[in-house]
Structure 1
Amino acid sequence: MTSLQALRIVIVAPESLTPAADDDDALVEAERSRSLRIGLLANGYNIVAVLPIDAFLPERIAQIQPDMIVVDAQSQARDTLEHVVMSTRDERRPIVLFTDDADTSHVGAAIAAGVTAYVVAGLAPERIKPVLDVALARFQHEEALRRELADARTQLSDRKLIDRAKGLLMSRQQLSEDEAYARLRKTAMDRGLRVAEVAQRLIDVADMLG
C-alpha cells in the first residue's frame, strides 16, 4: 500500500431494491449510499467491487484481495458487521463502517471484533479521506503490535524448547550447558534449521524413546 489514494476498496452493502418514489426512508438511504461512493471516487480511491452480504462474501473478498473494506450498513449495522468480520477472520483487513444506525450500544464490541472505524451519519465527501487515513494508520499500528506480540510469544516458546533440549543433552551425554547449546547450534547449521526446530526434534525423539 504505497499511497492512500491507491487503496483498492471493496464496498460491502446489504442488497436492496430500487426505492419506490414514495418511500422516503429508502430514498434517504439510497442517496446516502450514493454520496459515499461519490466521496470515495472524488478522493481518488479505487472501488474495485460492491459486494452484497451473502454466503459468498468470504470467497469474493479472498479472490479480490482488497486493501480496505468499506461497509455501507445503512441500518441494522450490527447484523452487517457480523458477516463482514467473519469474512475477514482468516486474513485481517482494515474495515470502515458508515451507517445511519443510531443504536451505538454495540460499537465497542464491533471495534474489539476487528472494525477499524465506526462512523455514524455524516457523509460529507470532505470527511471521508480523513476517516480512511486514520483507519488505515490505526490498522497498521495494531498489526505491528500483533506481530511484535506474536514474535515475543515465539521467542518465549523457542527458549523453552531449547532449554529443555539442553537439559536432555546435559543429563544424557554429560555435557555442560554451553556444550549442549553448541551441539544444538551446530546441528541446526548443518541441517539448515533453526535451533528451536532441532530442539523440538530432539525432544520428540526423547519422548518417543522414553
Structure 2
Amino acid sequence: MNQALRIVVVAPDLAVADPEDEHALQQAERARALHIGLLENNFNLVATLPADVFLSERIAQLQPDLIIVDAESDARDALEHVVLATRDARRPIVLFTNDEDRALVKDAVAAGVSAYIVAGLSTQRIRPILDVALARFQHEQALRAELADARTALRERKTIDRAKGLLMQRQGLSEQAAYEKLRKSAMDKGLKLGDVAQRMLDAMELLG
C-alpha cells in the first residue's frame, strides 16, 4: 500500500463535556487509537469530518484515497452519509464500530464497504485492515469494469446484428456481404464497427 495514501476519517465530535461520561471517554479513546495507528504507519490523515449534510462537498474537495468511518453507536447514520458522499466517485470504505447488528453488516456490504470491523480497533491491526480493504476495493472495481465492458460489447454486437439484418433485407445481401460492407465503411471512416452500425440504424430510422 502506498504510504502517501490520503485518508479521511468520518467520526462524531470527540469533545468530552462530562469527564464522568464513560461512553464519550471510550469514543475519544477509540479515536486517539485510530489516529495514532494511522500516524505510526505513515498514512496521510487529511481530515476528520462529521457525518453531516456537508460531507459530500468536503470529500469532493479533499479527494481522499480511502475513507474510514469510526462510529461507536450511530454506525447506520454515518454510513448512509458516507455512501451518499461517494456514490459518484467510489472509494474504499472501512467501518470501525461496536454495533453488532447483523442487518447493518448486510447493508454495509451491499453499500460497498470494503471492511467491516466490529470491536477491532487497535493500532497494530490498522495497516493490515487497510491493506485488505484497498485490495478488495481494487478487485471489485476491476470486476465492475469487466462487467461494464462485457455489457458494452453485448450491446455493440446486437447493434451490428440489427444493422446487418437491415442491409440483408433492404439490399438483398448475404450475412457475410452485409458484415463486409459495414466493416469497409468503418475502415473508410476510421470509426468502430459498432458506431457505424448505429449510425446506419439511425439513418434508416429517419428515412423510414
What SS does the corresponding residue of 2:103 show, helix, strand or coil?
coil
Displacement of 1:69 in angstroms is 0.6
| Corresponding residue to 1:27 among 12, 25, 28 | 25
Matches within 5 A, 1:38-187: 38-187=36-185
Tell me which amino acid in the other structure corresponds to 1:150.
A
Displacement of 1:15 in angstroms is 3.3
Structure 1 runs (4+) deviating above 3 angstroms are 15-19
CA deviation digits over 1:31-83, x for unaligned, max 9? 11111111111111111121221222112212222111111112110111111
CA contact (8 A) 1:13 1:50 kept: yes
| CA–CA separation in structure 2 for the residues paired with 1:56 and 1:184 | 51
What SS does the corresponding residue of 1:106 show, helix, strand or coil?
helix
CA contact (8 A) 1:4 1:133 kept: no
Displacement of 1:151 in angstroms is 0.9
Q: In 2 relative to 1, CA 192–58 (structure 1 residues): closer, same or farther, beyond 3 Å?
A: farther
| CA–CA separation in structure 2 for the residues paired with 1:187 and 1:141 | 38
Tell me which amino acid in the other structure corresponds to 2:128.
P
Tell me which amino acid in the other structure corresponds to 1:41.
L
Please report the RMSD computed on the Cα atoms of aligned residues, expressed in angstroms.
1.5
CA contact (8 A) 2:68 2:93 kept: yes
| CA–CA separation in structure 1 for the residues paired with 2:79 and 2:113 | 8
| CA–CA separation in structure 2 for the residues paired with 1:104 and 1:47 | 30
| CA–CA separation in structure 1 for the residues paired with 2:190 and 2:40 | 52
CA contact (8 A) 2:6 2:44 kept: yes
Unaligned runs of 5+ in 1: none
- The percent identity for this pair of structures is 64
Unaligned runs of 5+ in 2: none
Corresponding residue pairs, total: 208
The more displaced of 33-42 and 185-194 is 185-194
Tell me which amino acid in the other structure corresponds to 2:12.
P
Q: TM-score, normalised by structure 1?
A: 0.93
Displacement of 1:21 in angstroms is 1.2
Q: TM-score, normalised by structure 2?
A: 0.94
